[in-house]
Amino acid sequence: MDLAALNKVATAMTQPGKGLLAADESSGTIKKRFDAIGVESTEENRRDYREFLFRTEPAMKDRISGVILFDETIRQKAADGTPLVKVIEAAGSIPGIKVDKGAKPLAFCPGETITEGLDGLRDRLIEYRELGAKFCKWRAVIDIGAGIPSHDAINANAHALARYAALCQEQQLVPIVEPEVLMDGDHTIDRCEGVTMWTLKTVFMELYYAKVQLEGMVLKPNMVLPGKKCATQVSDEEIAETTVRVLKDCVPASVPGIAFLSGGQDDVEATARLDAMNRIGGFPWHLSFSYGRALQHAPQVAWSGKADNVAAAQAAFSHRAEMNGLATLGEWTADIEKKAA
């Protein structure tokens, strides 16, 4: 393992001013997104949609450090025959790949899941590396509810994340470690804080046991916030302060960067809260974004499957990428958001 090379990639993925585009939606998820805008989810439509995102200037060059792909997409070619991986690289961005097989019910733990996909992973990583991937992603899902999460769910998912991360580094691929505490439910921000802290401490313990080198990974956590159904919502500043406090308590300084998931927040919320954290400052890692819906919802609506709308959709994508890029620097404001819209 060349740790210096892994660190170089991980640092580039979370460099100030840039972040990751999560374009790794499964076939089922992208179908739901397309159904919402009246577009049939064919392979050609999925290809055309992702291709125009990857060819968007100046967003890809200036604000997107890397792109997380789905298995189908890393194998696809653009309309002109160019592999989409090469389109991403030509834009100055780093291609990566989602490698987990999804969250499945965890035995004897009602309402909880375990992410599968470790079987055969080494061989798949070798293939993805040959296809051009420089990093990978694995998502674990932790839900908050009555009597959950359980010790079993957190430990099982943390152990799987660590095994995945070790296999990635063995194959000279940077692992994105994503333990997502869901924002569904009616839990308070204090409850989310406790569960997120428990989850992150367990994850880093398992990473240590698996001999994962923290300098060669990226953490993709949730922000600490109240559940969507919680009667007591809080300010962006409180979310930022609580999240930074948890990260300082749980994440070693040797991790190069942290790229937040948006997790169901709307576009502007995800941007504003990332900006609020970077305004606090004083932490050893770069705080960036790894957004799917928060970057793609606006361009999807603008596009709606029509070729005549591609320019408008690219403009919408550029806008969201620019706003989030500013947030990684602590330079976003609501006024800039309104003026640039």
86 labelled catalytic: no
Nearest Cα residue to 223 out of 283, 292, 274, 284: 274
Q: How many CB atoms lie within 10 A of CB 122?
A: 12
DSSP 180-209: EEP--SS--HHHHHHHHHHHHHHHHHHHHH
CB of 210 closer than 8 Å to CB of 162: yes
State the catalytic residue, choosing from 134, 193, 220, 322: 220
Tokens read off for 67: 């792109």
Three-state secondary structure along 321-340? HHHHHHHCCCCCCHHHHHHH
d(CA 262, CA 289): 8
State the catalytic residue, choosing from 178, 180, 193, 206: 178
d(CA 225, CA 182): 10
d(CA 82, CA 100): 26
98 labelled catalytic: no
Q: Give exposure, 191-202, as e/b (b: 16+ Cβ within 10 Å).
A: bbbbbbbbbbbb
CB of 334 closer than 8 Å to CB of 21: no
Nearest Cα residue to 301 out of 253, 276, 267, 330: 267
Which residue's structure tokens are 């890692």? 285
Residues known to be catalytic: 178, 220
